[in-house]
Amino acid sequence: MDFLPVCKDDMIKRGWNELDFVLVTGDAYIDHPSFGAAIISRLLESHGFKIGIIPQPDWKNKDSFNVFGKPRLSFLVTGGNIDSMVNHYSVAKKRRQKDIYSPAGVMGLRPDRATIVYCQKIRELYKNVPIMIGGLEASLRRLSHYDYWDNSVRRSILLDSQADILMYGMGEHQIIELAESLDSGIPINEITYVRGTVYKTKNLENIYDEFIMLPDYKLSKSDKKIYAKSFLIQYENTDAITSKILVEPYENTFVVQNIPSLPLSTAEFDNSYSLGYMRNYHPMYNEKGGVPAIEEVKFSIISNRGCFGNCNFCALAFHQGRIVQARSHQSILNEANKIIWEPDFKGYIHDVGGPTANFRGPACDKQMVKGACKERQCLFPSACKNLKIDHKDYTSLLKKIREIPTVKKVFVRSGIRYDYLIYDKDEEFFYELCKHHISGQLKVAPEHISPKVLEKMGKPGKDIYERFVKKYYDINKKIGKEQYLVPYLMSSHPGSDLNAAIELAEYLRDLGYMPEQVQDFYPTPGTLSTCMYHTEIDPRTMKNVYVPKTPHEKAMQRALIQYKLPRNYELVFEALKKAGRDDLIGFEKHCLIRPRKSEKFYSKSDNTQTVNKTAKKKKTIRNIHTKLKK
């Protein structure tokens, strides 16, 4: 077992004269199943194909794409495990200082819009070699999409990259069917039948089934209402069972999205994670200090995919779908038994989970036959009556891993869906979680408490969160542990105005809690919330939505959540004044901040309220005295 070739010498050592596929990736080469490029390359290898990796090529030098020469079948291109624009820029559009997917965390080893740039460079070298793109960057940009960094609607990445085929979703089914089709001699432009792929065509004669015609790209770009309607159609056609083929017209061509690939069976999922991974970064990075991204996953285990939680600001439904797939216990235990032999393993499994750790199967029995519902969500605004709420399988799995010799602790860090957990009448998992799988604190994501914001987020009401909080502390008290909750909160989400932000600040005041970190809403492709951000319309109702967009207002909303920090004083003061909430500026317990030293202790409005309260109190006392005399 060894790393796949990264240069011609590696190829020659294997006795290969040419490669079937060359995979170009924006990440450093880490041969671990937490990385999509590793899964796809090892899967191709397991089917007998010869593949080499070009990690983070110098996009300014065409020769860096010519390491292996021309592949027999195709180039494969991915921007990496994360969208290159998100990787490079914060929500404030400021350049990040570190790239954990690069050696030593060095920033700048991949270009902006990596998938597009890599494909264009390959096309300059090889005019007629097929290029297939995939990964998160391609998947979420498969049709017209709002781009936060350009602040405009961009066309399908398939067109901008000059690639031939785009694979969306997780890719295992698609890559093997595409590879076998190419290997059998079928030209790339005739492979129009593979599920989970997008292709371009001059005519619609080759579409094999009923399809939905989306609005013309130019109309979607120029008219926000049309864009909202187009996006909703895309959003409602992400399910492998209910979806239709989508066709988007452009000036001289059509972009066709085939229906999604079917979810992996348990056996297929197990197979993907049983391949010959080296489970580390390539040794060529040793002298540079390694690749930081491995630290997050080296001692963690992915147990599931997909998410029926379906938060509106999350792209998981668009990328992985809402039908949860899970690996078998044996497959996960096999991986755990590999981890314990790592030289630097200290006895701690850092995580056993996925998009949502406590989901281990489809939301209901109907999903596998009729697909995920288009007209409602499984957990919002409350749990669907058909939802299967059961943690027995996950509880059993965690117990088995804990019993492996040399394993001291198994943590659950990838996220618990607390609303799903609180609906479970069987409390065994809740107790097990608190006893064995938390390192002093549990991170959960209520995100907000304002009803109008939660509705736009697709998150449950604060009453559900408060039920969970009470139960969590009750259980910890019973088992004699002092453990805490760390709530993740989001500012400036569509629907959140200053009053909603102040409502959240008051809630935190009453809790006596100030979060150390706050996430500003980040509009990324593929989410319902991003559509709301761009259009200021809820595409489900076509009604207007308030969206905080100016950097200054967003800064005020963020500051309100951390109102105690001295650096936020001026922003909080301005926000309270602007919202007419002078009552929260003062020395009373309910106040968020004190007045400025240059100002009186209270404003005119506060003084009027105080006078009125005093007069009312005196009147009440007079009335009591009058009654006593009588």
Q: What would you measure as the largest C-alpha separation in the chain, in angstroms? A: 111
pLDDT band at 206 (very low <50, low <70, confident <90, very high): confident
8 A C-beta contact, residue 545 and residue 536: yes
Supply the pTM of this predicted model: 0.91
Beta bridge pairs of residue 519: 490
E strand or H helix at 125, and its extent?
Answer: helix 114-125
pLDDT at residue 130 tops 80: yes
- pLDDT of the residue at 600: 58
**pLDDT for the residue 376:** 85
Q: How far apart are CA 502 and CA 396, in angstroms?
A: 43
pLDDT at 114: 98
Architecture in CATH of 447-580: 2-Layer Sandwich (3.30)
What length is written for the chain? 630
Question: What pLDDT does residue 516 have?
Answer: 85
For range 137-166, the mean pLDDT: 98
Q: Which tokens go with 221?
A: 């770009």
Task: Please give the residue that has the higher pLDDT: either 630 or 136.
Answer: 136
- Beta-carbon contacts of residue 352 (< 8 Å; ≥ 6 apart): 300, 301, 303, 332, 397, 398, 401, 410, 412
User: Which run of H or of E encompasses 248?
Assistant: strand 245-249
Structure tokens at 180: 């076998």
The contacts of residue 437 (CB under 8 Å, 6+ apart) are 398, 409, 410, 411, 412
For 452-500, the pLDDT digits (tens) are 999 999 999 999 999 999 999 999 999 999 999 999 999 999 999 999 9
Using the predicted structure, report yes or no on whether residue 96 has a pLDDT greater than 90.
yes
| pLDDT score of 202 more than 90 | yes
What is the distance between the alpha carbons of residues 618 and 608, in angstroms, rounded to a whole number? 15
Spans of all domains in the chain: 8-199+252-257, 299-439, 447-580
Please state, in angstroms and as integers, the Cα–Cα distance from residue 482 to each residue in 138, 477, 485, following that order: 45, 7, 10
**Residue recorded with tokens 């999205």:** 257
Helix (H, G, I), strand (E, B) or coil at 418: helix
Please state, for a pLDDT cut of 90, what percent of the chain lies above it. 90
Please state, in angstroms and rounded to a whole number, the distance separating the CA atoms of residues 498 and 504: 10
User: Which is more confidently placed, 164 or 614?
Assistant: 164
Mean pLDDT, the chain, whole residue set? 93
Q: What confidence category does residue 163 fall into, taking pLDDT thresholds of 50, 70 and 90?
A: very high
Q: First CA to last CA across the chain, in angstroms?
A: 100
Q: Return the CATH architecture of domain 8-199+252-257.
A: 3-Layer(aba) Sandwich (3.40)
CA 86 to chain centre: 11
Q: Mean pLDDT: which of 42-46, 295-299, 599-603 is highest?
A: 42-46
Over residues 365-420, the pLDDT tens digits come to: 999 899 999 888 999 999 999 999 999 999 999 999 999 999 999 999 988 999 99
- Report pLDDT digits (tens) over 308-345: 998 999 999 899 999 999 999 999 999 999 999 999 99
Q: How far apart are CA 133 and CA 126, in angstroms?
A: 16
Q: What is the pLDDT of residues 503-544, one digit of tens each?
A: 999 999 999 888 988 999 999 999 999 999 999 999 999 999
Please report the pLDDT score of residue 255 as a whole number. Answer: 98
Confidence of residue 587 (pLDDT cuts 50, 70, 90): very high
Q: Provide the pLDDT for residue 599.
A: 65
Question: Per residue in 349-376, pLDDT tens?
Answer: 999 999 999 999 999 999 989 999 988 8
**What would the two tokens of residue 45 be?**
């290898």
- What is the CATH number that goes with domain 299-439? 3.30.750.210
Please state, in angstroms and rounded to a whole number, the distance separating the CA atoms of residues 530 and 85: 15
For the beta carbon of residue 390, count every other beta carbon within 10 angstroms: 15
For residue 447, is it left (φ>0), alpha (ψ between -120 and 50) or beta? left
Do 299-439 and 447-580 show the same overall fold?
yes
Burial class (CB in 10 A: 0-12, 13-18, 19+), 221: middle
Residues 551-576: tens digit of each pLDDT: 999 999 999 999 999 999 999 999 99
